Structure 1
Amino acid sequence: MSDRRGRTGSRLPTTIDTTKPHEARFYDYWLGGVDNYPADRALGDEIAAHVPTIRSMVRHNRGFLGRAVRYAIAELGITQFLDIGTGLPTARNTHEVAQEVDPAARIVYVDKDPLVLAHARALMASTREGKTAFIHADLHDPETILADPVLADTLDLSQPVAITLTMIMMYFRDSDNPHGIIGRLLDAVPSGSSLTLSHPTADFNAAATEQAVQACEHAGITMVPRTRAEIERLFTGTELVEPGVVTLEDWHPELAEEPRFEVESSAGPAWIWAGVGRKP
């Protein structure tokens, strides 16, 4: 039978400050969602002024997530997912894609945004055979995720898990030790597990990317674009599956489903590198 559980007892703030932009909410705005506020839309528009194709890019990222989920199940035999930096519920969430392929798939979502917590019920919809859950936690402290009883209650950590970090590691400075955080997550899962990661870069247009970074920093939001080589190093501890770290559009396009979002065909490549690595 289905199981819908959520962890709400963390020490993170549970009140929503609508006067300041939040990563999950301006991303929702770019995706055409309605769970955002004037401050989120203002920053979203400012970034879009520097990166006019940003809406197309985040839609490409959503498509990559779906392809990576289907690849994990079909090619790697993984049916458990730890989706960190979940964001607000929108079309084609991880559990929707995974449980279409395997109704028994299990998913744990993690996000620090109290608005995502408020919408956790939508994220925790599940097939009768599968299970989904939500943990309100911050990836800066991975131990709070790994020690949460909801994780052990939902996922079998003796079996492979697909760790999903799409468009989240850019919020971590090098001083935050992103390699150590990812390494701790990988240490907690067995051989055969995978790491799915997408990350913006300045490799395609350094000037425009720097303007977007400055807009975020001015709003109090950390934004760290990284080079392709730096992003490849985030996969340390895994073996990259083909085709390696590539632009979003070039990662197994044959796995795409009928588009659920309108994407500008003439927008050019997304300024986002992506890949999947498997823990040996």
Structure 2
Amino acid sequence: MSETDGGAPGGTPASGGAGAEGVDLHTDRAHGARIYDYILGGKDHYAADRAAGDATLQVWPSLRIHMQANRSFMHRVARYLAADKGIRQFLDIGTGIPTSPNFHEVAQAIAPESRVVYVDNDPIVLAHARALLTSTPEGRTAYIQADMREPETIITAPELLETLDLSRPVGLSLIAMVHFIEDDDEAYRVVRRIVDVLPSGSYFAAAIATDDFAPEVLARVQEVYHSHGETLRWRTLAQAERFFEGLELEEPGVVQIHKWRPDHVDVGRVDDADIAMYGGIAYKP
């Protein structure tokens, strides 16, 4: 399920239509980023994406609430790291279809000198990547077309090395991404490899899909996604916490995303059963 701001790091579909600059958007099959866009009222989606989104809404009408909560969590992550922790450079993996405010817009509204490197492998994100490059004059943004399951291609990319100073703290954001990796060992390995290159003083933020709060209906959601060719792996609280091993969790720890330092106006407005994602931020000593 792509509740990312973003798209899946998944496989390569067989065929499809071409988008901006001749990018093959693979419109013949549903894609997580476009389902996300459709559910939230965007314009960058096709018939296969709408079919998958409608089928999911039929079995889980709370999907839209869940996705809105995920985007709100991303905004709070950016604000917290920029305003409270003084982070000025960020690596956002699983960027998704640009929708303002994007991560860099939130961070640069607080600190105009902030630098953000975006990563996604969804072809529709590449087609719209210019919208991610609207940095302030003081800051900088860059985009890497890469698959998170191949972390070496990310951490060695010229765009990253030219934009971020890896001797200074970095805010790593992996919002609603690891559920696209079904194998647990691979998921933990990928995350650990990226965290390992970050210097001391960095922060790691993640949102991890779970069915802990509505297992029966979310089992049907998983069936719908699989039937439309999308990957979805639920994880328990203990499995979610394992992604932060060796790091120091910020309060309140790993909790459902709507409970992680919510905006005052949102407190108590969302039912736990409507949210299928754990979230947390941790400090790298």
Of 26, 31, 48, 2:40 maps to: 31
**1: distance between equivalents of 2:213 and 2:74?**
22
Deviating above 6 A after TM superposition, structure 1's stretches of 4 or more consecutive aligned residues are none
Of 270, 276, 279, 2:275 maps to: 270
1:137 is displaced (CA, Å) by 0.4
Of 88, 101, 113, 1:92 maps to: 101
Q: Is the 8 A contact 2:258 2:270 kept in 1?
A: no
3-state SS in 1 of match to 2:216: helix
Counterpart of 2:104 in structure 1: which amino acid?
A: H
When normalised by structure 1's length, the TM-score is 0.89
Q: Is the 8 A contact 1:84 1:165 kept in 2?
A: yes
1:64 is displaced (CA, Å) by 0.8
Aligned to 2:116: 107
Of 181, 200, 224, 1:172 maps to: 181
> What aligned pairs does 1:52-67 form with structure 2 within 5 A after superposition?
52-67=61-76
Q: Is the 8 A contact 1:56 1:267 kept in 2?
A: no
1:179 is displaced (CA, Å) by 0.8
1:102 is displaced (CA, Å) by 0.2
Aligned to 2:199: 190
1:175 is displaced (CA, Å) by 5.3
Aligned to 2:137: 128
- The alignment of Structure 1 onto Structure 2 pairs a total of residues equal to 263
Deviation readout 1:103-129 (Å, 9 max, x if unpaired): 000000000011100000001111000
1:75 is displaced (CA, Å) by 2.2
Counterpart of 1:19 in structure 2: which amino acid?
A: D
3-state SS in 2 of match to 1:177: helix
CA-based RMSD of the aligned residues comes to: 1.8
List alignment gaps of at least 5 residues for structure 2. Answer: 1-11, 14-22
- Corresponding position: 1:209 with 2:218: yes
**1: distance between equivalents of 2:78 and 2:234?**
24
Deviation readout 1:195-225 (Å, 9 max, x if unpaired): 1111221101111111111111112211001
- Corresponding position: 1:20 with 2:29: yes
Of 168, 172, 196, 1:163 maps to: 172
1:251 is displaced (CA, Å) by 0.8
When normalised by structure 2's length, the TM-score is 0.88
Of 260, 263, 269, 1:251 maps to: 260
1:30 is displaced (CA, Å) by 1.4
**2: distance between equivalents of 1:31 and 1:124?**
22
**2: distance between equivalents of 1:56 and 1:63?**
11
